[in-house]
Structure formats: structure tokens, C-alpha cells
Structure 1
Amino acid sequence: MIELKTSMPGKKALFGDACTVLGEHGLQMGGNWDFDKGYFDTILHQNGDDSIYLRVPFDVIDGMLDEDSAMIEFGKPFIIRHVLNIGLDDDDSPVLAAVGLDQFQKPDDPDAPIPYSEKWIEEGEAHVSRFSEDAVFIAPY
């Protein structure tokens, strides 16, 4: 994981506005969220089972995450490399298979070393600056 130097930490927005604007910049709400925090993610590079992501964390400071009117505050964006496990699952469960919950395997390396890190730092910081300057969405609420 590589933390980025950006102006995002501490900025606030309504969750619905953030979803709209970040979606226009290719970021989507990541699957690893809770009602009081989450991440917006985008893939910077993908080659087969190897992906490099830009991840923008946030905390809910007012309301619930399933509401567009929830107020969120952004944390420090970072770059992460994720190497998927494309082999057979050693922890195969017939019960999970029967209900369709065994489709995702544990990654080989969820925080792998990032080659060419300077390139990804530059690209990630540039990507963040493009959406963080959007005055319609990020404002001192």
C-alpha cells in the first residue's frame, strides 16, 4: 500500500453527490464497506489476475451510508496491488457452493508489492486532483 499526498483528507461531501461525481471519474463504491465507512475504488492497471487500484477511504460523519444525504469525510487515498487467486479453492465448502456463496476466493496477495511505484503514485495523485477540484461535489459542509 502506498499513501498518496493529496488535498482529499478532511474534505466532506454528501454521499449521493460523492457517488455521482466520483462515478463520473471512474470510481465506484468498493464492496468492503460498512454503514459507517467505506471506499471508492478504481482500477489504474489490470493484467490478468494482477490489478493496481486507487482507493479513496471515507467515514460517515452524519447519517447512514445507505442514504444519499449521509455526510461523509474523506481519508487519505492510497494505491494497492491485488493479486487474485485463479486456482482451485482449498477451502471448498459444499454448503457454500449449494447456496452460491463460494464464487470468490481469498487473494494470493491482497497487498502485494507495487512495481514502478513512482508511476502509480503520479497517476493516482493526478486522478485524485481531477475529481477533488470539482467544486460542485466537495465543499466545506
Structure 2
Amino acid sequence: MILLQTPIEGKQANFGAARSVFDSFGCSFCSNFDYHQGKFDALLWRDGGESIYLRVPIYVVDGELDHSSAQIEFGAPFVIKHVVNVGLDHDENSFVTATTGLAQFQDPVDQDGYIYDKSRWEQAGKETVERILNSMTGLLSS
């Protein structure tokens, strides 16, 4: 994981407006959230089962994340590498899983894989945050 120092940290915005801007840059709002915190992810690179993401955490200041009117504050963005198993799952439960559909995805091989060329991905993450911030002019408060 590479923690990024960017001006977005500590800034506040309306969740609905921020989500629209992040969406326009191909970022996704992660469905794994609770009503008081969540995150936006931007795919920076993918090759096979390896992906490098920019992740921007958000925290609710007022309201709840299931409403676009919630007021959010941005946390410190970071770059993370996620490595998944692209092969077949051959454990003792794989037949049951395949026939019942109870487990749709395999466990990742490495949720926080080693990132080679860290300066490259640090720069890519900072540039992505900068482009998003430039598009949020007038939407942010401190």
C-alpha cells in the first residue's frame, strides 16, 4: 500500500455531487460500505489477476451513505495492489459452491500485493486525484 499526500484529505462535499464526479472519471463507489464510511476506487492498471487501484476513503459528516444528500469528508487516498486467483478452485467445497452458487468469488491470493515501481504508481494516483479535484471546483469545503 502506498499512502498519498494530496489536498483532497479533509475536504468535504455533498456525496451525490462527489459520486457524479468520481463516476465521470471511471471510479466506482464500492458496494462494500456502511452508512458512515465508504470508498471510491479507480482502476489504474490490470493484467490478468493483478490490479492496481487508487482508493479514496470517505467518512460521513452528516446523513447516511444511502442518501445522495449526505455530507462526506475525504480521507487520505492510497494505492493498493490486489491479486486474485484466476484459476479454478479445487478445494473440498468447490463442487458444492459451483452447484449451489453460495460463494460467487474465490478468496484473493493477496489483498495487498507488493507494488513494484512505487514512484510510478504514487505519481499516477496523485495525478488522478488532482484531475478529480480540478473537476470538483465549487463543490468542496474544508
1:132 counterpart residue number: 133
For the aligned residue pairs, the C-alpha RMSD in angstroms reads: 1.7
- 1:1-141 equivalences under 5 Å are 1-87=1-87, 88=89, 90=91, 92=93, 94=96, 98=100, 100-133=101-134, 134-140=136-142
Superposition TM-score, scaled by structure 1 size:
0.90
Q: 1:50 to 1:139 in 2, by over 3 A?
A: same
Structure 2, unmatched stretches of 5+, are none
What is the CA–CA distance in structure 1 between the aligned matches of 2:35 and 2:98, rounded to whole Å? Answer: 25
SS at match of 2:129: helix
What is the CA–CA distance in structure 1 between the aligned matches of 2:125 and 2:61, rounded to whole Å? Answer: 25
The number of aligned residues is: 139
* Letter matched to residue 60 of structure 2: V
Q: 1:137 to 1:91 in 2, by over 3 A?
A: farther
The percent of aligned pairs where both chains have the same amino acid is 42
User: What is the Cα deviation at residue 35 of structure 1?
Assistant: 1.0
What is the CA–CA distance in structure 2 between the aligned matches of 1:91 and 1:42, rounded to whole Å? Answer: 35
CA offsets 1:84-113 (integer angstroms, 9 cap, x no match): 012315363637852x33111110000011
User: What is the Cα deviation at residue 24 of structure 1?
Assistant: 0.9
Runs of 4+ in structure 1 displaced over 3 angstroms? none
What is the CA–CA distance in structure 1 between the aligned matches of 2:46 and 2:63, rounded to whole Å? Answer: 35
Structure 1 range deviating more: 128-137 or 111-120: 128-137
Q: 1:69 to 1:96 in 2, by over 3 A?
A: farther
Superposition TM-score, scaled by structure 2 size:
0.90
User: What is the Cα deviation at residue 138 of structure 1?
Assistant: 2.1
Structure 1, unmatched stretches of 5+, are none
